[in-house]
Amino acid sequence: MIWVPAFDGMSGVNWVRPEIMPSYSNLALKIAPIRSLIALIARFGLAGLINTGIGFAVIAGLDVGLHVSPPLANAAGYLVGMGVGFVLNRRFVFKSQTSARATAPRYIAVVLAAFALNQLILRLAGASLGPGALPHLSAQLAGMVVYTLAVFLACRFWVFRAVG
């Protein structure tokens, strides 16, 4: 019986019989889309962390550093975050070739709709969980999760969808 080396890209070399090579190759083809999705989600998460850091720096700099009113500082940070998020998502996360002119209005609509959805979840969760620090933080977390999922899915399937 003959055995040949097969490289799976994860654990290195596996020794397989030539007659099972086609099915082994099919496994790699089935795993490739999953790896691609995991990489996309990782890029989205990294972009979100960068965007959050920049937005918070703007808010803190305006609020604490320049003594701008907290709501105005927050709004400025949110606007800067929208711009940074658009650039990162368009270029780094989804690697869109579609023009900014076509994708920017869709992105703005998605972020505003996701913010409204976040506020709805925050109200519903807050009302059902009740008062107190832990229920409030749980409601905030629920709103953040819904916001993040909504933005990711809308960006992937509508804002930056691959054309062609």
**Spans of all domains in the chain:** 98-164
pLDDT in tens, 46-68: 999 999 999 999 999 999 999 99
**Least confident segment among 18-27, 123-132, 153-162:** 18-27
Residue 53 C-beta-side C-alpha neighbours within 13 Å: 6
- Vertex 80, ends 44 and 97: CA angle to 5°? 50
Partners of 5 in beta bridges: 15
pLDDT in tens, 76-135: 999 999 999 999 999 999 999 999 999 999 999 999 999 999 999 989 988 899 888 898
DSSP state of 6: E
